[in-house]
Amino acid sequence: MAIKRWAAAFILWMLTTAGALAATPELNLSWTGLALRGYDPVAYFTVGEPVKGKRSLSVEHGGGTYRFSSQETRELFLADPDKYLPVYGGYCAYGTAQNTKVDGDPQVWHIVDGRLYLNITRDVDKVWQQDIAGYIARADRIWPNIKYD
């Protein structure tokens, strides 16, 4: 019984400190520091869909680790990272507009005016699509206030 309590306490500690381990609150990272769950940020723009990156083609940038599906996409990123980084650090665009930081799913995405936006679920994304410009304007105003929370 003591082992079960210890295991439960450890799991709870891991869940509550995972963000602290990544130590970059402005980026939506895994507890290991992986951004976009390992998807190639450039592929959204060049291929038009999410593509898993390779561990061997990783780049550390701004506190996160980004993976790339090819040497070409890696080089494009290195030439202009800001062009390919997801907005709001990869957190959900709709959530940001609601004054909160929640996970952004790399499979639920849009490119709007040359910027990559993620949302948490397809249902949330449907709501976001009803007023994309309005939600982006609101999120852009809110993001500086919650970015480092």
- pTM, 2 dp: 0.85
Inside any domain, residue 16: no
pLDDT of residue 5: 55
pLDDT of residue 27: 97
**pLDDT, tens digit only, all 149 positions of the chain:** 445 555 544 544 444 444 444 468 999 999 999 999 999 999 999 999 999 999 999 999 999 999 999 999 999 999 999 999 999 999 999 999 999 999 999 999 999 999 999 999 999 999 999 999 999 999 999 999 999 99
Domain count along the chain: 2
Q: Are residues 100 and 48 in the same domain?
A: no
Are 107 and 117 a contacting pair, CB within 8 Å?
Answer: no
Are 93 and 117 a contacting pair, CB within 8 Å?
Answer: yes
Residue 7's CB is within 10 A of a number of other CB atoms, namely: 10
Q: Are residues 113 and 77 in the same domain?
A: no
Inside any domain, residue 126: yes
Are 46 and 111 a contacting pair, CB within 8 Å?
Answer: no
Inside any domain, residue 64: yes
Q: Are residues 77 and 29 in the same domain?
A: yes
Domain that holds residue 48: 25-83
Inside any domain, residue 47: yes
Q: Are residues 49 and 92 in the same domain?
A: no
Q: Are residues 56 and 115 in the same domain?
A: no
Q: Are residues 75 and 90 in the same domain?
A: no
The three-class DSSP label of residue 119 is: strand
Inside any domain, residue 94: yes
